[in-house]
Amino acid sequence: MPKPAHLLASGVALAAVVAVVPGIARAEVPADAWTDQIRWSSTSLADGVTLRTGVLEDADSTPFWTVTVQHPVTSSITGRPAGAGVGPRAWAQETADRLRAAGYEPRLDDIAWPDYSDTPSGLQGVRVRTGEYATQAEAGAAVTALKAHGFTTAVASWTGYDVDTPADAEQFHVAVIDQRSFDGEVYGTHHGVVAQRQRLSDVSGELGATVAVNGGFFITADADGYQGAPAGIAAYDGRLEAMDAGSRTGIVLGDGPARITRLTAKVDVRSGRSVRSVNGINRKPGVIRNCGRPGAVPVIEPRQDVTCRTDSEIVLFTPRLGAELPTGEGTQVTLDAADVVIAVGPRGGTVPDGGSVVQGIGAAGEWLAAHARVGRSLRVAESVRDADGRRVPLTPDTSIVSAAPNLVTDGRTDIDAAAEGVIDPADLSFNYAWAETRQPRTMAGIDRRGRLLLVTVDGRQPGVSEGLTLEEEADLMKSLGAEDAMNLDGGGSTAMASGGTLLNRTSDAAGERADGDFIVAVPTE
């Protein structure tokens, strides 16, 4: 593959041109759109791969620390008291009166619903705030004082994270990949076993990736399952390694052009004429991160960053798990490569090379114990379907990386935030900050020429880069010419690398986070 003449250690060309990359179509956006304020430079990483770096600076925007008095509610997930970022107007007026009586000057702001495709429109609620502080410590001291006055839901807030405050600074990285010109492969990978976490820069360096970004949602705590394992549908090298958390958006890479669509998986085990559904792959039975599965409690619908439970299900384990199998009550069946039962017994041990393991708990475990017999077949059947119900072939070249929500469809904003479980219109304490305040974000898109757009925006760094809301993500992707786009994992996971060098500035104080899976563009050797 041809290389640029002058390279940094990361493989990034030294020369850069301040311009829009030729051929990148711009969607129809208002003339005064914030995206028009971004200053772009471009760098060739390889034939068919262009890196665009964007900077937005607004000297007229002066964010500050303040205190938000949240609307007291009861969480729909925990049943415990919680706070919502906005509340009804009557509550807001009453709270404003109480603040004045306590010697504080309130500010009331009407907050509209974002441009979601499946939520109400118009007024979402009224935000109540007080004070203007130079530092977080000063705002924290004000929170303590307000709580002593009975405002128990008071929290410190940075106005730079508000969508109604123009961002003072943003930093973007956009990799434009034309797979027809790029001499290499673009795919999703866990780079080894599923039950592990790795830093993107390490994986990118080991693979010699021209460019790479973090991928989908994954398990981050032992209590929620295997750390690093996908918390949504995932496939690598044509093998399904995790099931969906309800119908959520993923990107399919491999045979043919990349495409973005909502995906679901169906997996069954069959013993003779008796069939039972498999409810998960490579996760701990009874523990369902992001919910979205039959029998899940408290909800069967997707719920971002919520761990649901169930007392009856079957889970399949593949050789790529790379960890000890779960132990506890239930039944375990070990299969060979031909789906013939070679062992039935208690849960535990490891997955044999070339085989698989099926575990069942509760009533599902009883079914498994009753139907699995050594020497007989226990057939496992898998399928993946897209939003239109069409089967997604899993060939050796297919990979799937998933997250949520969808952002753009056919060039139009199409954020199905409620359906994909990243917000709950009936409970604004759930994920309000996740969706509707600025955060570091990673995005994937496909433009009308079929090119793949891998995009990051840094965040949680006042004065450097604030991040984006979901609605702002859609605006950005449309401005880059995306016909279809989705949100990938973000926050401290947001990262882009070339070779072994990190290109963006991650937000975790401890440095680059170890993530789950990745999307990589790797040149042909």
Tell whether the model's pLDDT for residue 32 goes beyond 90.
no
- The full length of the chain comes to 525
Write out the DSSP string of 155-217: EEEEGGGBTTS--SEEEEEEEEE-TTT-SEEEEEE-SS-SS--EEHHHHHHHHT-SEEEE-S-
- Identify the band that residue 17 occupies on the pLDDT scale cut at 50, 70 and 90: very low
- Domain tally, the chain: 3
Last residue of a domain, one of 165, 196, 229: 165
Confidence band, pLDDT 50/70/90 cuts, at residue 255: confident
Residue 44 resides in a domain: yes
100 inside domain: yes
pLDDT band at 442 (very low <50, low <70, confident <90, very high): very high
Residue 71 has pLDDT above 50, yes or no: yes
**According to the model, what pLDDT value does residue 201 have?**
98
Same domain, 367 and 284: yes
Specify whether 252 is located in the same domain as 386. Answer: yes
410 shares a domain with 392: no
pLDDT at 372 over 50: yes
383 with 285, same domain: the answer is yes
Q: Are residues 265 and 393 in the same domain?
A: yes
- What percentage of the chain has pLDDT greater than the value 90? 93
Q: Write out pLDDT tens, residues 316-330.
A: 999 999 999 999 999
Position 9 pLDDT exceeds 70: no
Angle (CA) 87 90 92, round 5°: 50
> What domain range includes position 285?
217-399
**Residue 256 pLDDT:** 86
| Domain shared by 138 and 201, yes or no | no
Looking at the fold, whether 343 and 303 belong to one and the same domain comes out as yes
In a shared domain, residues 430 and 390: no
Answer yes or no: do 118 and 221 share one domain.
Answer: no
How far apart, in whole angstroms, are the C-alpha atoms of residue 156 and residue 139?
6
CATH of the domain at 67: 3.30.70
Residues 155 and 231 in one domain: no
| Residues 390 and 476 both lie in one domain | no
Query: Is 179 domain-assigned?
Result: yes
Write down the pLDDT at residue 525.
81
How much is the average pLDDT of 30-52? 91
* pLDDT score at 407: 98
State yes or no: pLDDT of 15 exceeds 50: no
> How large is the average pLDDT for residues 347-355?
97
Per-residue pLDDT at 11 = 33
Domain end position, chosen among 165, 182, 199: 165
Model confidence at 30, pLDDT cuts 50, 70, 90, reads low
pTM: 0.93
Residues 230 and 335 in one domain: yes
Q: pLDDT by residue (tens digit) across 379-426?
A: 999 999 999 999 999 999 999 999 999 999 999 999 999 999 999 999
Would the pLDDT of 7 be above 60? no
